[in-house]
Amino acid sequence: MPIVIAAVLFGPIPAGIVAALSDILGATLFPVGPYFPGFTLTAFLIAVVYGLFLYNKKHTMTRIALAIAVTQLLFSFALNTVWISILYSTPIKALFAIRITQTAILIPVQIAVVSVMLKSYGHLLARRAVA
């Protein structure tokens, strides 16, 4: 949600910078494994896509669904799976088989959450972006 808010308020590149810095800070303060810059790149790209779809645009269900589908399928599913395979030397086909279920569940959940958030607070975010 913070990345979506940054994308709505500031646009693609600033949101990407926020996401990348957030990833680096999170990996430094709360390490789960070794730091891997590929995940930072993914975070940046996800935020850029959200910015392209949601910054200074009407927040329609189609636009929200497309933004989430692109970020989940291209970046979270495909690119992060490649990073995990590289980082842990895991066969990529096995990872794809496991991660497709996660992606299939997350897409509708994220669409619902982002839609509700933007419907509830979108007018405040738009007013804040103009100010």
Q: Domain holding 47: CATH number?
A: 1.10.1760.20
Residue ranges, the chain, pLDDT below 70:
122, 125-131
Range of the domain at 54: 2-130
Hey, is 11 helix, strand or coil?
A: coil
Sign of torsion over alpha carbons 12, 66, 111, 23:
negative
Report the amino acid identity of residue 19. Answer: A
Instruction: Give pTM, 2 decimals.
Output: 0.89
**pLDDT score at 119:** 87
**pLDDT score at 33:** 84
**pLDDT score at 131:** 47
Phi/psi at 75 (5° precision): -100, -55
Domains in the chain: how many in total? 1
**pLDDT score at 129:** 53
**pLDDT score at 48:** 98
Cα 127 to Cα 5, 6, 123: the distances in Å are 13, 14, 6
The DSSP secondary-structure symbol of 79 reads I
Residue written as token pair 């913070």: 2
